[in-house]
């Protein structure tokens, strides 16, 4: 399948996430920008990625670093101009890269003109564009819903003498998707960017769009279930089963409307499903049937606990049960979680085998900037913190700044990111891992990622094929990928002891020698050293 000329380009694609504040500063103000991204796109093309996903660059007061939008259809001056975006699109086209942008539709900034008008009184044209509710008779919030960032998700507004809903910061009021005019306005935002040439969207907090219209209380979550969460353990958000503040069935109708806007452009969407209890099932529901979003990513591979063979098998079993035609977009790291090399305390060998595994799983893939360098989490001092989430829960939770430090391009000043003091410090430990240093070393992590992506692209079975015979045998994970006449056998030793792998019946040729995969077959058996893969193609 030629993904560059079909509407299915997203199926099995490798998508590279760019956090624009931290990618490349082009104008010497210490903050990355769109022109800086354009300057560095060749790095992503050389990695072999199919597309980029750019985190928000829209006009914003930056209380949550762009995830609080005050104008959906313009570029914040911090990042440049619409002309800079158009130049980025042209360069991406030259390099064969699709461009996806991050749309934050569940909420806006409290400085967005829509909210300014809505909060003025109860009778204006946008009075019902946000989720407003009267207090209880004693003046307290209308229900027990909690914010992901801590505390009640309701904020009092004296002008209307009502509470408004904010699932995140108080400066991020939630839009009311039960209002048809809101849905139409947001679809018009998508149309604006589609007409400008984008190839798709990453949809932030896709399952938060619609709240229960009756504002019913969430039930409590048993203590033994609180470890698996999208929030840090110190956050009371984990004490509830979030039945009513998100995950509402009416969301499916909006997603169908959104998909109808994408189809004429051959564009795609990947949704972020933030739910600890039902994330996989919601993902399957949102991506099945061919009439909603094409892809979603849940938090199963973003969890604090290291990914095991059994966890992979159980994850795929749950998805198959929920919807056999599901399509995930897997990621180990992003701008919201501790980098997985640190989160899972991975050795170099372990990081490499997990990278190879990611490229072999059924679904699409997101790589987060710096992941291809094996960057660990940065330790940010309290006085350097920028993330309000970290300030709120310090020191038990240090926020998200540790994964957002600037990309390191060279061993020089500020890692080649900026000539000025960066908005977050560049860790000294990252400098020897810079792109320039790794390009000179054929055995580097960067070259491993390039080889893993190339392997995926070389085999249709790994890009869009089916997955079968998946099972865990202790630390050994094994499965087969099939597409047409091609079958690729994949086995991964995710442990510290050598294991023996018996290949399925047939004649096999080993793949991935440049990835450190097993290089010899004895009879029909392969010995896998600790943290080693076996990849083989069936011979016809």
* Catalytically annotated residue among 204, 245, 300, 401: 204
3-state secondary structure of 364: strand
Query: Burial level of 472, CB count in 10 A (0-12/13-18/19+)?
Result: middle
Report the DSSP pairing between strands 200-203 and 154-157: unpaired
- Residue among 172, 58, 150 at smallest CA distance from 106: 172
Six token digits for residue 520: 């010899």
Report how many helices (DSSP H) and strands (DSSP E) the chain contains, helices first.
Answer: 13, 20
- Residue among 171, 241, 177 at smallest CA distance from 208: 177
Q: Is 84 a catalytic residue?
A: no
The DSSP letter of residue 300 is G
Six token digits for residue 291: 């009439």
Q: Is 134 a catalytic residue?
A: no
Integer CA distances (angstroms), 384 to 67, 421, 494, in order: 20, 12, 36
| CB neighbour list of residue 188: distance below 8 Å, 6 or more residues apart | none
Which spans in 270-370 are helix H? 279-287, 309-322, 340-343, 348-358
3-state secondary structure of 387: coil
* Catalytically annotated residue among 64, 272, 275, 300: 272
Integer CA distances (angstroms), 76 to 27, 114, 466, 522, in order: 14, 18, 42, 60
Catalytic residues: 204, 272
């Amino acid at each position: 399948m030629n993904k560059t000329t079909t509407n299915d380009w997203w199926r099995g694609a490798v998508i590279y996430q760019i956090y624009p504040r931290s990618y490349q500063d082009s104008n010497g103000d210490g903050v990355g920008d769109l022109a800086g991204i354009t300057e560095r796109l060749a790095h992503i093309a050389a990695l072999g990625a199919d597309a980029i996903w750019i985190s928000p660059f829209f006009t914003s007061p930056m209380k949550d670093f762009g995830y609080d939008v005050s104008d959906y259809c313009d570029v914040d001056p911090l990042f440049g101009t619409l002309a800079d975006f158009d130049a980025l699109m042209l360069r991406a086209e030259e390099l064969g890269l699709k461009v996806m942008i991050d749309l934050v539709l569940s909420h806006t900034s409290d400085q967005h003109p829509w909210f300014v008008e809505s909060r003025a009184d109860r009778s204006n044209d946008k009075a019902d564009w946000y989720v407003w509710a009267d207090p209880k008779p004693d003046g307290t919030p209308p229900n027990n819903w909690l914010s992901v960032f801590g505390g009640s998700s309701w904020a009092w507004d004296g002008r209307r003498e009502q509470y408004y809903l904010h699932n995140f910061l108080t400066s991020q009021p939630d839009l009311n998707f039960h209002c048809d005019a809101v849905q139409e306005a947001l679809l018009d935002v998508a149309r604006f960017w589609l007409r400008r040439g984008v190839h798709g969207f990453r949809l932030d907090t896709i399952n938060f769009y619609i709240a229960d219209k009756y504002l019913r209380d969430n039930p409590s979550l048993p203590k033994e279930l609180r470890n698996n969460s999208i929030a840090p353990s110190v956050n009371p958000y984990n004490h509830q089963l979030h039945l009513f503040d998100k995950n509402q069935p009416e969301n499916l109708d909006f997603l169908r409307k959104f998909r109808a806007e994408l189809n004429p452009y051959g564009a795609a969407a990947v949704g972020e499903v933030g739910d600890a209890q039902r994330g996989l099932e919601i993902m399957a529901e949102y991506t099945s049937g061919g009439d909603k979003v094409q892809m979603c990513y849940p938090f199963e591979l973003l969890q604090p606990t290291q990914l095991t063979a059994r966890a992979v098998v159980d994850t795929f079993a749950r998805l198959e049960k929920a919807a056999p035609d599901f399509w995930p977009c897997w990621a180990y790291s992003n701008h919201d979680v501790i980098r997985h090399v640190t989160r899972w305390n991975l050795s170099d060998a372990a990081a490499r085998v997990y990278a190879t595994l990611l490229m072999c799983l059924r679904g699409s893939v997101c790589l987060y900037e710096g992941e291809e360098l094996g960057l660990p989490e940065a330790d940010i001092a309290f006085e350097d913190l920028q993330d309000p989430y970290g300030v709120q829960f310090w020191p038990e939770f240090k926020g998200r700044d540790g994964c957002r430090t600037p990309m390191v391009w060279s061993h020089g000043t500020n890692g080649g990111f900026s000539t000025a003091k960066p908005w977050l410090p560049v860790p000294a430990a990252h400098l020897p891992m810079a792109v320039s240093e790794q390009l000179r070393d054929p055995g580097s992590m960067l070259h491993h990622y390039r080889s893993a992506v190339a392997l995926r692209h070389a085999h249709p079975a790994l890009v869009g094929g089916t997955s079968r015979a998946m099972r865990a045998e202790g630390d050994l994970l094994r499965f087969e990928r099939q597409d047409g006449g091609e079958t690729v056998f994949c086995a991964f030793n995710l442990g510290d002891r050598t294991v023996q792998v018996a290949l399925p019946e047939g004649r096999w040729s080993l793949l991935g020698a440049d990835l450190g995969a097993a290089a010899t077959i004895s009879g029909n058996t392969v010995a896998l050293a600790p943290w080693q893969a076996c990849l083989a193609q069936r011979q016809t």
